Amino acid sequence: MATLEKGNKKLLNAWAFYDWANSVYSLVISSAVFPIYYSSMTTSFADIEGDIAFLGTNWHPTTLYDYTLSLSFLIVAFLSPILSGIADYTGNKLKFLKFFCLLGSLSVMSLFFFKDESTLWVALLFTITASVGFWGSIVFYNAYLPEIAYPEQQDNVSAKGFIYGYTGSVILMILSMVLIQTSVFGLLDEAYGSRFTFVLVGIWWLGFAQITYKRLPNNIYNHKPEKDYIWKGFRELKKVAKELSEYRELKRFLVSFFFFSVGVQTIVLMAGIFGSEELGLPTTNLILTIMLVQIVAIAGAFIFSRLSNKYGNLTALKITLIIWGLVCFLAFSLDKSQDNVDMCFYVLGAVLGLVLGATQSLARSTYSKLLPETEDHATYFSFYDVTEKIAIVLGMFVFGLLISITNSMQWSVLFLAIFFLVALIVLFTIKGNKYVK
């Protein structure tokens, strides 16, 4: 197949379609079905104090899950700069994208085998490898953005990716709900229906990724690596790290990105468990709320991409961070004893959805626009990715720590508002450039 030129509509659509492929992981595995399934399974074999035993130690199930995810993000944070340096030096971003996609999709399918206390290790091991696969692939996927789209296209293309992702994940989520609620059309039990959806997610992710693979270019700068490409990859990483320190606005954006990622990603990862354990909402209500978030996020990504076109990326991002702070206060005010707490949770989900896709989309395109003229896009985006992963590790650690201290998730959620405030303050110090205002 002939290589498509930068800015070509078919190329941009193919790139964005990887969001359609992988976002089912974000919804079904990270946010909705698996966290709720994990919570229900661990509750079934927890002791009288609500703890479970693992590796000779008693754990609160949510804390163990938090720490497991944190470990996966630490692995990605360690690996991605090294692998990105190698990918840039060799010109093999596409191969790395394929590898991590394969690792993630097969790991998700392996979660099917978690069914009782004896297979808890399956849930934890493949939660780690699925997360590494997903986030590892995102590094190389994001790195393509400045290579396939011109700066003036990047806000809309980035938003299109998230819109594709939310649309595809909602479709699979509806199918998953049917399988779970009907116990796989009456053939098996509800738990089996949940496990079956994990297999569907892996097949969907790996299958639709092939569409992206067919269009994306590889080695567009015609790099011809020498045999010691691993050490050359390290030198590539060192070179970009030195360059990065010279760009004031880019550094400040990464600082702001770090602080709001602590809040955004922790809320996304823990929303299902918050609704289940803190508010006592039934599984159906939780899944409906999370689906509502995805549907509203489609509109949010579109609306804020237009706002960024008219008023600038930084202004649009500032608006989203203010709304995120509001989300934290609304979540803190909820209590399971309140009347119509499920309706309040729906409203909270709608507000969250409005800014979820917008924040992630704008962050990706803003960073891309702030990059200098370079061929080392994967390495630069690995720093973006590491910033996000360290933020998630901090967010999950703080969230889990406050749960263990206060025995409540509400204070954990409220504390996240501080991170959004700091991120907002830093954003006000950024001047931008001709593409970022």
The answer to whether 111 and 29 have CB atoms below 8 angstroms apart is yes
201/48 Cα distance (integer angstroms): 34
- Residue 432: inside a domain, yes or no? no
The reply to whether 2 falls in a domain is no
Q: How many CB atoms lie within 10 A of CB 74?
A: 16
Handedness of CA 193, 196, 200, 206 (dihedral sign): positive
For residue 295 the two structure tokens come to: 């549907």
What is the model's pLDDT at position 297? Answer: 84
Domain with 265 in it: 9-219+227-427
**pLDDT at residue 11, rounded to an integer:** 92
The CA distance from 108 to 205, in Å, is 10
pLDDT tens digits in sequence order for the chain, 437 residues long = 557 788 899 999 999 999 999 999 988 888 778 888 898 888 888 887 778 888 888 888 888 888 888 888 888 888 877 777 777 777 778 888 999 999 999 999 999 999 888 999 999 999 999 999 998 898 888 888 888 888 888 888 888 898 899 899 989 988 888 888 887 766 666 678 889 899 999 999 999 999 999 988 876 666 665 556 566 666 766 777 787 778 888 889 999 999 999 988 888 777 777 877 777 877 777 777 878 888 888 888 888 888 888 888 889 999 999 999 998 888 888 887 777 888 888 888 888 888 888 898 888 888 888 888 776 777 788 788 888 888 888 888 888 788 878 777 888 888 889 999 999 999 999 886 666 66
Cα–Cα distance, 137 to 86 (Å, whole number) = 15
pLDDT given at position 286:
76
Tokens of 356: 């979820």
Instruction: Say if CB 219 and CB 91 are below 8 A apart.
Output: yes
Both tokens of 379, joined, read 């390495």
What does the block give as tokens for 149? 């789209």
Strand-pair category, 57-59 with 52-54: antiparallel
Backbone φ/ψ region at 298: left (φ over 0), alpha (ψ -120 to 50), beta: alpha
Residue 433 within any structural domain of the chain: no
Q: Torsions phi, psi of 52, nearest 5?
A: -125, 155
Helices (H) and strands (E) in the chain, counts: 15, 2
Residue 89 near residue 115 (C-beta atoms within 8 A): no
Question: 313 and 155 in contact (C-beta within 8 Å)?
Answer: yes
For residue 382, what are the CA distances in angstroms to 55, 138, 213, 372?
A: 33, 10, 20, 15
CB proximity list for 17: less than 8 A, separation 6 or greater: 164, 208, 211, 212
Please check whether residue 434 lies inside any domain of the structure. Answer: no
Residue 205 C-alpha from the chain's centroid: 14
For residue 154, which amino acid is it? Q
Q: How many residues in the chain? A: 437
CATH number reported for the structural domain that contains residue 52 in this entry = 1.20.1250.20
Report the distance separating Cα 268 and Cα 274, nearest Å. 10
Phi, psi of 57 (to 5 degrees): -130, 145
Residue 346 lies in a domain: yes
Which whole-number Å values give the CA distances from 311 to 59, 305, 306, 394, in the listed order? 48, 10, 9, 32
Give me the pLDDT at residue 221, please: 60
Instruction: Give a yes or no: residue 435 inside a domain.
Output: no
Question: Which H or E element spans position 422?
Answer: helix 410-427
3-state secondary structure of 182: coil
Number of domains in the chain: 1
Give the pLDDT score at 233.
60
Q: Minimal CA–CA distance to 44: which of 182, 191, 192?
A: 191
The answer to whether position 436 is within a domain reads no
Please indicate, yes or no, if residue 377 is contained in any of the structural domains.
yes
